[in-house]
Amino acid sequence: MQTKNYESVRYALYFAIKYNFTIAEVSFDMVKGSNDCLLLLLSYLYFSKHKDKAEVKKFKDYAEDLQKNSMDNYWLFIYEVLPKSKFKDDWKAIKDKEVSFLKKDI
């Protein structure tokens, strides 16, 4: 994170999710400032898998904030994190059909 090599951090999170190991240094506060949609999403998935409710809530709250002004840049993160009730129009219809852009087995 210090070198802003977010792609490497994304891979580390992906493997931590897939192989169920922890990374002590990762936190919501650390990844929030990255402005990286995929890093946010993988971090959310990581904390969801490890059942860290406090961190998951931070990601959900942040997704709601981003939804107001930054949907175009963060749509994937917002869409996968928020429930159907938080969407309107086409987004709600897609959520209603239970469409996901993620593989179920990571």
Question: Is 0.85 surpassed by the pTM of this model?
Answer: yes
Q: How does pLDDT run across 15-25, given as a tens digit for each residue?
A: 999 999 999 88
Give 101's pLDDT tier (boundaries 50, 70, 90): very high
Give the C-alpha separation, 43 to 37, whole Å: 10
Number of other residues whose CB lies within 10 A of the CB of residue 49: 16
Q: How does pLDDT run across 74-87, given as a tens digit for each residue?
A: 999 999 999 999 99
Q: How does pLDDT run across 30-60, given as a tens digit for each residue?
A: 999 999 999 999 999 999 999 999 999 999 9
Closest CA to 16 of 48, 61, 59, 54: 48
pLDDT of residue 106: 67
End-to-end CA distance of the chain: 23
Closest CA to 66 of 100, 41, 93: 41
